[in-house]
């Protein structure tokens, strides 16, 4: 992976050096043209009629030559690519990127390398979801970034983040509130401002409730909740077992008057019923 990046960077430097050489050649050509243009009046005066006799009419040139003049324009040079952190519109950045790589004349490998190197923050985390062989594949990068930051996918992701994103350690309150507001504006962009404000307030309350459930600052909230649930489950089982034993002790049989069983399970009643059945069979 490192060797591939070095090779791509080397090719980029080669392209840049070639562009600089091209720029110098263009400037030299422009200087020579200016010198020739300044010297033309003197040559015309010196040549006089001789130049006129040697002039060639325009009609003598082929149409292909006249139809394809060489335009001399100023060399613009490569355009610098800005960074992308996932907090701005991905489609806009994607369009800008295509314009820049067309202007700079990048090949496919250089395109992927430049795009990967321009990612920052949450956008750079997308690289961790790709295999090593696909991190320098432009289509793979496009697909991963589309799934993560495209407008039609990012709304659902933003809503999920609003429900699960706590205030990070060392994150200021203002920074956290700004991030929650950004997620709310993205998740509910097609709703009124009142709905977005209510969603922001609800997300902040949920975060404070989860943080308050922590026993220590270093213990994850999810682990604490699992421990509490296990403890409640054990207490419920103990209570249920106690109630079951108490109910069994309080049972009273209507047949024999004994406790601990019901009439339908009374051994005395069953004994009497069996005796009656036996006497009927004998008769």
Tens digit of pLDDT at every position of the chain (283 positions): 556 666 656 666 666 666 666 667 777 777 777 776 666 555 555 555 544 444 445 455 455 544 555 444 444 678 888 999 988 888 899 999 999 999 889 998 899 999 999 999 888 988 988 888 888 899 999 988 887 777 655 666 667 766 777 777 888 888 877 777 777 766 665 666 666 566 666 655 555 544 544 444 445 556 767 777 777 777 777 766 665 665 555 566 777 777 766 677 787 777 777 776 766 666 5
Give the per-residue pLDDT at 216.
Answer: 45
Q: Is the overall model pTM greater than 0.75, yes or no? A: no
Give the per-residue pLDDT at 189.
Answer: 57
Which tokens in the block code for residue 247?
A: 């109910």
String of b and e for 53-68 (b: at least 16 CB within 10 Å)?
eeeeeeeeeeeeeeee
Q: How many CB atoms lie within 10 A of CB 283?
A: 4
Half-sphere exposure of 125 (CA within 13 A, CB side): 7
Half-sphere exposure of 206 (CA within 13 A, CB side): 14
Give the per-residue pLDDT at 217.
Answer: 46
Angstrom CA distances, 51 to 36, 55, 56, stand at 16, 6, 10
Give the per-residue pLDDT at 28.
Answer: 74
Give yes or no for a contact between 66 and 58, defined as CB atoms under 8 angstroms apart: yes
Give the per-residue pLDDT at 155.
Answer: 65
* 3-class secondary-structure state, position 63: helix
Give yes or no for a contact between 256 and 269, defined as CB atoms under 8 angstroms apart: yes
Q: Which residue has the tokens 């699960």?
A: 164
Distance of CA 252 to the CA centre of its chain: 67
Which tokens in the block code for residue 211?
A: 């943080």
């Amino acid at each position: 992976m490192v060797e591939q990046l070095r090779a791509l960077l080397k090719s980029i430097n080669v392209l840049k050096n070639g562009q600089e050489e091209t720029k110098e050649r263009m400037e030299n050509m422009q200087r020579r043209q200016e010198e020739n243009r300044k010297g033309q009046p003197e040559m015309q005066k010196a040549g006089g009629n001789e130049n006129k006799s040697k002039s060639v009419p325009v009609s003598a040139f082929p149409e292909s030559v006249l139809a394809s003049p060489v335009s001399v324009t100023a060399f613009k040079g490569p355009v610098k690519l800005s960074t992308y952190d996932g907090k701005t519109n991905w489609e806009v950045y994607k369009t800008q990127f295509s314009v820049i790589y067309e202007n700079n004349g990048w090949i496919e490998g250089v395109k992927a390398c430049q795009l990967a190197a321009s990612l920052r923050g949450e956008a750079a985390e997308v690289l961790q979801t790709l295999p090593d062989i696909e991190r320098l594949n432009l289509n793979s990068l496009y697909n991963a970034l589309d799934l993560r930051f495209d407008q039609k996918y990012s709304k659902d992701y933003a809503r999920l983040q609003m429900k699960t994103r706590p205030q990070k350690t060392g994150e200021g309150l203002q920074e956290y509130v700004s991030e929650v507001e950004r997620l709310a504006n993205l998740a509910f962009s097609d709703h009124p401002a009142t709905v977005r404000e209510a969603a922001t307030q609800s997300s902040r309350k949920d975060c404070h409730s989860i943080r308050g459930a922590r026993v220590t600052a270093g213990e994850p909230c999810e682990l604490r909740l699992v421990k509490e649930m296990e403890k409640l489950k054990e207490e419920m089982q103990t209570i249920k077992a106690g109630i079951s034993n108490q109910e069994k002790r309080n049972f009273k049989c209507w047949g024999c008057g004994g406790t601990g069983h019901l009439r339908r399970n009374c051994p005395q009643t069953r004994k009497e019923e069996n005796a009656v059945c036996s006497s009927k069979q004998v008769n």
